[in-house]
């Protein structure tokens, strides 16, 4: 059951699992009216040869959810191991045997009276999931523009937390880009330096080195970003530098690519009409893509620690 292309039978709404058609959030809830929610996007990958669905870096995602909740004063109904089991049970109840996307959401419920104050609204928690394939193209290089919408700053509404209400910022930017014929956009900080894509972190390849904006550049401190840094350094012996990146550096880079839970690793062939490299997915990007695909499906023993099996006990 589902709506708008989403499909699942069961949803977890703390403290119980319910059928998807019975799941409901009150129109009076603080989270619905003011965007006072935090969430995670988590991918699970079906490994057909093992008959197992591996949820990628699940504890890290749930720990980030906990930290995002601290920004809004939202407490989760359990620790990371308990929340991990809720996610695995959701997969089992829905009998997913394909690549999936899980979305845990913690939000403020119905307050005793109208107002934006967070203090008295109760905390609620839910998890839903659905099959998901490709979010951005992995094989075709993307056409990208620099957005006229500025990345929201940490001192306004921190991007380091996945806060529901702040996603109006990338929503405006991505919609503008798509309506202008681009696949995606890159957002700049208030200082005019590079932040990230609408919902993806960004890497440049220059002279065999990976460069990515630092965590102080109003970015989401991405789990896929962290994965790429470790893989590049440990498996590919590439130097990775986190620093301020100027807009013009994008135009002269050898390669550029996005990364994220949804985007995975997606190459960029054009920015603002300027060809990047040869205009296709670059060789370093291709190598990272291939390595990442093996890692997330649990086929490389060295990185199996990142893969939580949903069907077999850990």
User: Smallest Cα–Cα separation from 274: which of 256, 295, 292?
Assistant: 256
Domain-located, residue 206 = yes
CA distance 210 to 228: 10
Query: Does 162 participate in catalysis according to the annotation?
Result: yes
Catalytic residue among 75, 162, 239, 302: 162
Determine the length of the chain.
314
Q: Are 83 and 40 in contact (CB under 8 A)?
A: no
Q: 158 and 253 share a domain?
A: yes
What is the residue-averaged pLDDT of the chain?
95
Average pLDDT over residues 230-250: 97
If one counts the domains in the chain, the total is 2
**pLDDT surpassing 60 at residue 1:** no
Q: Looking at residue 227, which CATH number applies to its domain?
A: 3.20.10.10
In the numeric block, which tokens belong to residue 314? Answer: 């850990």
**pLDDT surpassing 90 at residue 73:** yes
Give the domain extent around 74: 10-131
- The enclosing H or E element of 12 equals strand 10-13
Q: 230 and 292 share a domain?
A: yes
In the numeric block, which tokens belong to residue 227? Answer: 């994965």
The proportion of the chain whose per-residue pLDDT surpasses 90, expressed as a percent, equals: 91
Tell me, what's the pLDDT at 36? 97
**Is 0.85 topped by the overall pTM?**
yes
**pLDDT surpassing 90 at residue 61:** yes
Average pLDDT over residues 249-273: 97
């Amino acid at each position: 059951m589902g709506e708008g292309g989403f499909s699942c039978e069961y949803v977890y709404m703390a403290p119980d699992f319910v059928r998807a058609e019975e799941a409901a959030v009150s129109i009076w809830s603080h989270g619905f009216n003011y965007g006072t929610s935090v969430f995670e996007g988590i991918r699970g990958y079906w490994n057909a040869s093992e008959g197992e669905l591996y949820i990628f870096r699940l504890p890290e995602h749930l720990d980030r959810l906990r930290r995002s909740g601290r920004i809004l004063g939202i407490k989760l109904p359990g620790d990371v191991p308990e929340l991990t089991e809720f996610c695995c049970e959701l997969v089992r109840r829905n009998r997913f045997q394909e690549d999936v996307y899980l979305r845990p959401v913690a939000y403020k419920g119905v307050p005793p009276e109208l107002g934006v104050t967070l203090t008295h609204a109760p905390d609620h928690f839910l998890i839903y999931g659905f099959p998901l394939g490709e979010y951005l193209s992995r094989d075709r290089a993307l056409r990208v523009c620099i957005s006229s919408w500025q990345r929201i700053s940490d001192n306004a509404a921190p991007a380091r937390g996945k806060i529901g209400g702040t996603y109006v910022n990338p929503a405006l930017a991505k919609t503008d880009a798509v309506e202008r014929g681009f696949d995606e956009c890159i957002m700049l900080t208030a200082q005019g330096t590079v932040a990230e894509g609408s919902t993806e972190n960004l890497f440049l390849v220059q002279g065999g080195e990976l460069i990515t904006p630092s965590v102080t550049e109003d970015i989401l401190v991405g789990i896929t970003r962290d994965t790429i840094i470790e893989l590049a350094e440990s498996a590919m012996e590439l130097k990775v530098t986190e620093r301020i990146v100027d807009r013009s550096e994008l135009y002269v880079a050898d390669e550029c690519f996005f990364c994220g839970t949804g985007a995975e690793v997606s190459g960029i062939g054009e920015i603002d009409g300027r060809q990047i490299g040869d205009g296709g997915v670059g060789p370093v990007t291709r190598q990272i893509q291939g390595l990442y695909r093996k890692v997330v499906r649990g086929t490389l023993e060295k990185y199996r620690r990142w893969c939580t099996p949903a069907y077999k006990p850990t």
